[in-house]
Structure 1
Amino acid sequence: MTPITSDPGPAAFDWLARAQEEPHQAHREWQERGSALLPLGKRFNSVCLPARIVYAGAGCDDLDVVTRTLAELLCGPVIHNRPKHEYYALVGKGSVASWRYADDAPMLGAGHFLSVPASDLRGPTGLHWAVRPRIVGDLCPVPAVAALVHIARGAQTGGHR
């Protein structure tokens, strides 16, 4: 799979690493394990998007098409955990209580952790970036993620939801 974004450089990943109390620990985990376990709710939250939702929103399950669709619709970083058949859109902290799609795509915040792949993990297997962060603080707008879930609901129910 060809990446659709340029190398974000170390600054975007330094920003993500600072979600941990000891950012150097995240860098060490990326180097040694290929992913770092980062706490949510400090710098960002995440919306867990089951693959069925993402594929319905994209209109197919072709990974290249799905990746392009996510980049265009969500305008921010998305992690693909292929073994679990889940995608994780990184969104701004807050808004967990007001997230209205919790049944289909729960928003995870404070008290949760997310495995975040190293910058060079771009798939197509295992845990990898479907869409990598482009700049420091790059996150998906919550309304864009909500729109994807809404589109997927409509596609799954023939437009009757």
Structure 2
Amino acid sequence: MAEWATRGVTLLPLGVRFDAVRVPASRIHSSVCSEDPKTVAAALDDWLCGPVVRDLRASSGDYYVLVAPGAEWHGEEQRLGKGSFLVIPRIGNLSMITHWVVPPRHPGNLCSTARLRALLTLADTLRTVEP
């Protein structure tokens, strides 16, 4: 894509190759018990085994977990599909806008919604246990 070559990022339509589940940074950080970028990346790679993008344009710094189009999702986090677009960085590109937390391992590599639900359930459990 020309935008990747010139800008390092491109706007891709969701619902074609993948959908995205938008997860607030606070939920991800409580799930993995860390805000350290390297720790978060390693934990998400281990748990989700698929690509995750972080959008740094907003102060919240939401994470976007890439999942199969139409994959079952009943979590409270917003699922984005047809009619939505997501800024996707070129792999290896360092951008102030968005970056890969976990790049895709191979073409077609996507996260399991079941594994994402398990990770977020862990965050909910930890939140109820912590003082």
Q: TM-score, normalised by structure 1?
A: 0.74
Report whether the alignment pairs 1:155 with 2:126.
yes
Report whether the alignment pairs 1:79 with 2:53.
yes
Match for residue 41 of structure 2 among 22, 42, 67: 67
Mark the runs of 5 or more structure 1 residues left unpaired by the alignment: 1-26
Deviations 1:95-151 (A, max 9, x none): 3xx52213xx2111111111111111256x531000101111000011111111111
Between the aligned partners of 1:156 and 1:121, the Cα distance in structure 2 is: 35
**Deviation of the 1:70 alpha carbon:** 0.4
Residue of structure 2 equivalent to 1:92: 68
Residue of structure 2 equivalent to 1:45: 19
Alignment size in residue pairs: 128
SS at match of 1:157: helix
Check the 8 A contact 1:121/1:127 in 2, yes or no. no
Residue of structure 1 equivalent to 2:101: 130
Between the aligned partners of 1:121 and 1:87, the Cα distance in structure 2 is: 17
Check the 8 A contact 1:39/1:113 in 2, yes or no. yes
Between the aligned partners of 1:135 and 1:31, the Cα distance in structure 2 is: 20
SS at match of 1:32: helix
Q: CA RMSD in A?
A: 1.6
Mark the runs of 5 or more structure 2 residues left unpaired by the alignment: none
Residue of structure 1 equivalent to 2:87: 115
Q: What fraction of aligned residue pairs are identical, expressed as a percent? A: 36
